[in-house]
Amino acid sequence: MGLELNVATISLLLILLTSTTTINAQTKVFDVRNYGAKPNIDITTAVASAWKDACAYPGSSKVVVPEAVYRVGNITFFGPCKSPIEFNVLGSIHSPEDPNYFKGDRWIAFQSIDHLIVSGTGNFNGEGETAWSRNGCSKNGYCAHLPTSIRFDYITNSIVQDITSYNSKQFHIHALGCQNLTFDHVTIIAPQDSPNTDGIHIGRSTKINVINSQISTGDDCVSIGDGSRDILIQGVNCGPGHGISVGSLGMYQIEQPVSGINVIGCNLTNTSNGVRIKTWPNSYPGSASNIHFENIIINNVDAPIIIDQGYCPWNVCKPEIPSKVKISNVSFKNIRGISRTKRAVVIVCSSSLPCENVELRDIDLRYNGKDGPATSRCVNVKPIIAGYQNPPPCTITTVF
């Protein structure tokens, strides 16, 4: 499976990069300096004008933000555009510092565009330090409505490569309703204690790849929401953060199924979770299936392997009422390294909808604490056990 996915990903990137090379030979450049942009001032109007002209250009186009520090306010780059378009960031784009400036859920957004490239060695700085103290998620469950740094809404056949996102006020990157979108060599940086700063969140999207990327943040490095299908997470280095997560699922009505999630060849270091599936108790109905975690390196992680169908982080739900999200066809293969806690494998499924076809194969998770070797726990699941197993296979418990 891993080889086939890797070949498919490489083929997609070659197509995109070949297309990019061809485009570059004929691309018209729209430099924001030609629209009045100057360093260390607000260039929102200039970059909006450059985008408008580039998007309307009948041939391929490129908006360029050159090397310097610029300020950009709340802005959405709308499509559809007449031809392929690139947004090339070589400088540093800074958000307004005051959270009260934002009336919506985003700082910068790209919407309804086909054949978009977002590229460059520059960065997006969300100035999140000014907002994190307002977010009480970790204390009382109150998550302030703060903006995501970069939104990708209804983007198709596109690639985001080489950019860096610093210190988002809330999520760094959010992809919604996208198809055939690849994040390649993306770097995300925020402190371990920055609340609700998920690295890349994917929702209701198909054929999304997150590859060869570095994510250090205060929440999930990658989080996968409802309606996500055919998702590849490969070659991601995560940490600090909360790990790589499917979910949480079941909080809202009419959530769409999650299926075809593959997390391959990733490294997790100093995270609070490793690879995880989480659903709320007392949830709305839903499903998550065909989810595979393979060739994962664990280094000093609190909960390396976890399915948690009683996810209730702020005690604001009814944990006694079982989850109605059905989890099936899940595998954890060749996962190895050092657990920071004794309980290295935790698979807690719903009593009303026990997990089906959960496989543990070639697991080697060591714990070096004084209170004994690593252990595992299973609730409402009968896992398929194969290959080497450390800790020993789960002791199965049924909870009604």
Would you please indicate which residues are annotated as catalytic (active-site) residues? 242
Instruction: Tell me whether strands 244-249 and 275-279 are parallel, antiparallel or unpaired.
Output: parallel
| Contact indicator for 278, 311 with CB cutoff of 8 Å | yes
The verdict on whether omega for the bond into residue 287 sits within 30 degrees of 0, i.e. cis, is: no
Q: Which residues sit opposite 215 in a β-bridge?
A: 188, 238
Q: Which helix (H) or strand (E) holds 13?
A: helix 2-24
Q: Is 366 exposed, middle or buried (0-12, 13-18, 19+ CB in 10 A)?
A: middle
* C-alpha dist (Å) from residue 216 to 165, 183, 202, 237, 340: 10, 16, 17, 8, 18
Per-residue b or e along 201-237, where b marks 16 or more CB atoms closer than 10 Å to that residue's CB? bbbbbbbbbbbbbbbbbbbbbbbbbbbbbbbbbbbbb
Separation between Cα atoms, residue 223 and residue 249, nearest integer Å: 11
- Encoded tokens for 5: 């996915």
- Which of 180, 164, 63, 167 lies closest to 123 in space, CA to CA? 164
Separation between Cα atoms, residue 274 and residue 297, nearest integer Å: 9
Separation between Cα atoms, residue 285 and residue 316, nearest integer Å: 19
| Contact indicator for 374, 347 with CB cutoff of 8 Å | no
Separation between Cα atoms, residue 394 and residue 104, nearest integer Å: 46
Separation between Cα atoms, residue 390 and residue 376, nearest integer Å: 9
- Which of 215, 199, 220, 189 lies closest to 125 in space, CA to CA? 189
The verdict on whether omega for the bond into residue 58 sits within 30 degrees of 0, i.e. cis, is: no
